[in-house]
Amino acid sequence: MDDTLMFCYQCEQTAGGKGCTKRGVCGKSPEVANMQDLLIYQLKGISIYAEGYLREGKNIPKEYISFIEDSLFQTLTNVNFDKDDHIKMLLKSQELKDKIKREQSSIKTDRDEALFKLRPQPKDILADTKRAGIMFEKSLDEDIRSLRETIIFGLKGIAAYSHQARFIGYFDDDVDNFFCKALAATTDDSLSKDDLVNLTLETGTMAVKVMAVLDKANNERFGSPSPHRVNRKKKKGPFIVVSGHDLHDLEMLLEQTKDKGINIYTHGEMLPSHGYEKLKSYPHLVGNYGGAWQDQQQQFDNLPGAILMTTNCLMAPKDSYKDRIFTTSVVGFDGITHIPRGKDGYKNFTPVIEKALELGGFEEDEIPKEINVGFGHNAVLDRAEDIVAAVKSGKIKRFFLIGGCDGAHTGRNYYTEFAKSLPDDCMILTLACGKYRINDMEFGEIEGIPRLLDVGQCNDAYSAIVIARALADAFDCGINELPLSFILSWYEQKAVAVLLALLSLDVQNIYLGPVLPAFLSPNVLQLLVDKFKLTHITTAEDDLKAILTA
């Protein structure tokens, strides 16, 4: 395939701030990029027929929801780069579309997404991807295109969270049904811009709901997070580094490595797992290795241990560690060993364990250096009276949520500079991998409360929402009347879901960077600015001054 025949602008680092057209900045090939477009196209077709169940007042069967969820997640940035995996999913998509079409034979439609018949040969599949490209309909209104893609990218983020919850038996029927409602709506030419704006905000509402489901799942399954000190230095011996987000994968690995003399380190967004009561009870969960996802190629280079990627964010592995990195779930990369999930949900991590023992691990201990985690909403609200009293006495003047997706963009030092510039009477909440910009810095305490509170993973933006609502209740005001500012960084589609979640709650004056999403047309961007006072970051000094003097 001609390597110019792709278009992807779903992530913050897309080429030139406009779109990747030759190869993804993330490393995905044009073939994979285009097959991802076609897979989304197929999901739209399935969803057109699935709406028949909704019209009958029924929930859409979970067989279809689970496939749609997996497919959306697989197409999220830095998840799956494997061509064969995408061909398998495309073949399955046609099988399911034929099945649901038979089940909903009363549905009559002329939409190509529903009528299109996938040809099974790989060369034909690649040829057919053209019809599914984001820019294929040249005459489509740019605002309609922008809103449709914003909805789809939000759904990808929702799918990542719902996938994690479903893995341990939690789901929400409203969220599940919304996948199909929204996907089908992106094919409906009768919907106006106002209709799509409303659907975009409804996507945010569903993002809040799915984060609540995942919060409930993790707290009930693993015990509510509580403050915990995590070592970021090496310990002697064989080890496995676990990256991604999935706590259940970590739990299974911890069980399978008990008494084997293998140390387990978290990496990236797995860091918050140390706060959960059940997980931190394992003595061989010894610490956190490395930092945010974008540094993994350097940090994993010739690493004398095994690496397990449970979700995103995977980068193209270097040859120096390609034989010691493993994937699971919907994650995939050509030539990397994949750990499948059995029908009962069990995963056999023996290949990972054997590789760790073979490599031998670190040769000596390093002097420990610790950071704090575990400030989820339950832990923070346990100190609510102290926090409220400190605000009323003037000892706490303002709260700042500084976090989100990290990345390699040069402008991301903004977030470090912003945090360093804050007055000593300001509290900082942080979450997601953006925390690595500030979580090794010393900020001290206010009235015995650490000034920097790590509330968790990207999905734990829900914790920030719960904390904000509780403070608003305590002061008998709305969230926008609180002395609270959101300073957010974004990279991929889970961050899109989080942003839409905040907008659906009418959170105003969010500062967003380092660059604004390429998929927002000028008119859609202006709508967000006008309605929500969304602000593009400038400099830490100027933005902080504007906030403190407002």
Tens digit of each residue's pLDDT (9 = 90 or more) over 260-289: 999 999 999 999 999 999 999 999 999 999
pLDDT score at 299: 97
Tokens representing residue 185 in the block: 């709506």
Q: What is the DSSP pairing of strand 228-231 with strand 370-373?
A: antiparallel
Contacts of 410 (CB under 8 A, 6+ apart): none
Would the pLDDT of 414 be above 70?
yes
What mean pLDDT do residues 471-488 have? 97
What is the rounded CA–CA span in Å between residue 540 and residue 550?
Answer: 15
Q: State the pLDDT confidence band at 5, using cuts at 50, 70 and 90.
A: confident
What is the amino acid identity at position 112?
Answer: D
Q: State the pLDDT confidence band at 104, using cuts at 50, 70 and 90.
A: very high
In three state form, how does the secondary structure of 418-480 look?
A: HHHHCCCCEEEEEECHHHHHCCCCCCCEECCEECEEEEECHHHHHHHHHHHHHHHHHCCCCHH
| CATH number of 228-359, picked from 3.30.70.360, 3.20.20.80, 2.30.110.10, 3.40.50.2030 | 3.40.50.2030
Contacts of 205 (CB under 8 A, 6+ apart): 501, 504
**CA neighbor of 155 nearest in space, from 496, 503, 404, 518:** 496
pLDDT in tens, 432-455: 999 999 999 999 999 999 999 999
Q: What is the largest CA-CA distance in the chain?
A: 70
The percent helix, strand, coil of the chain (3-state, each to 5) is: 50, 15, 40
Would the pLDDT of 2 be above 70?
no
The residue to which tokens 């779109």 are assigned:
19
pLDDT in tens, 289-341: 999 999 999 999 999 999 999 999 999 999 999 999 999 999 999 999 999 99
pLDDT score at 343: 86
What is the rounded CA–CA span in Å between residue 363 and residue 135?
Answer: 53
> 208-224 burial, b if ≥16 CB within 10 A, otherwise e?
bbbbbbbbebbbebbeb
Mean of all residue pLDDT scores within the chain? 97
- Do 150 and 34 meet the contact criterion of CB atoms below 8 Å apart? no
Tokens representing residue 490 in the block: 């974004």
- Bridge partner list, 327: 309, 338
Q: Do domains 228-359 and 376-549 have the same CATH topology?
A: yes
Element (DSSP H or E) covering residue 239: strand 239-243
Please count the residues of the chain. 550
Q: Sheet containing 239-243: which strands, arranged edge to edge?
A: 285-288, 263-266, 239-243, 306-309, 325-328, 337-339
The residue to which tokens 């900082």 are assigned:
428
Q: State the pLDDT confidence band at 430, using cuts at 50, 70 and 90.
A: very high
What mean pLDDT do residues 360-383 have? 97
What is the rounded CA–CA span in Å between residue 463 and residue 315?
Answer: 28
What mean pLDDT do residues 494-519 have? 98
Q: Is CATH 3.30.420.40 what the domain over 15-220 is classified as, yes or no?
A: no
What is the rounded CA–CA span in Å between residue 494 and residue 484?
Answer: 22
Residue 8 DSSP symbol = B
pLDDT score at 4: 66
The residue to which tokens 């015995």 are assigned:
448
**CA neighbor of 181 nearest in space, from 50, 327, 330:** 50
What is the rounded CA–CA span in Å between residue 65 and residue 293?
Answer: 29
Would the pLDDT of 409 be above 90?
no
Would the pLDDT of 15 be above 80?
yes
Contacts of 390 (CB under 8 A, 6+ apart): 396, 446, 447, 449
pLDDT in tens, 56-85: 999 999 999 999 999 999 999 999 999 999
What is the rounded CA–CA span in Å between residue 348 and residue 246?
Answer: 16
- CATH fold of 376-549, please? Rossmann fold (3.40.50)
**Domain-by-domain residue ranges, the chain?**
15-220, 228-359, 376-549
What's the predicted TM-score (pTM) here?
0.97
Q: Of all residues in the chain, what percent carry a pLDDT higher than 70?
A: 99
What mean pLDDT do residues 139-157 have? 98
What is the rounded CA–CA span in Å between residue 444 and residue 395?
Answer: 13
